[in-house]
Amino acid sequence: MWLDPDHGPALSALPFDLVWATTWEEEANAFVAPLLGLPELPFIAWPEPRPEPGGGVFWKTPGIVAWAQGRAFAWVDDEITEADRAWVEEHHDGPALLHRVDPRRGLTAEDFAALRAWAAGLG
């Protein structure tokens, strides 16, 4: 796993409440957060077995929408597809940004700019 230590301060500077939405769950706080210089963060606990919503929807999508409970959220992942965006549009009442990152490059300056711009548009 490749991690950029500069991403921690960049993530902390975003106008969001950060939450781990990783299969690492609470272990992200022990193994990933220190490498990025992030504090302990809340995390989404995934059900076992993991649900398969079908239709090409990523198994994390319903859990993230349930966690958000209608609140605005931005989700960054390398497995987001148009099927996930459509599912969120249909099942989530609040604003949502599903931002796909290229797994070969990881987070880039353009990704951070897109997140900041979306947050600014919320008013």
**75: in domain:** yes
SS3 10: helix
Contact (Cβ atoms closer than 8 angstroms) between residue 44 and residue 65: no
The secondary element (H helix, E strand) that includes residue 99 is strand 96-100
Termini Cα distance of the chain:
36
pLDDT digits (tens, 9 = 90+) for 26-71: 999 999 999 999 999 999 999 988 888 999 999 999 999 999 999 9
1 located within any domain: no
pLDDT digits (tens, 9 = 90+) for 69-110: 999 999 999 999 999 999 999 999 999 999 999 999 999 999
Domain count, the chain: 1
Is residue 53 in a domain?
Answer: yes
- % residues pLDDT > 70 (the chain): 98
The predicted pLDDT at position 82 comes to 98
Crossing angle for the helix pair 60-68 and 82-91, to the nearest 10 degrees: 30
Range of the domain at 65: 7-121
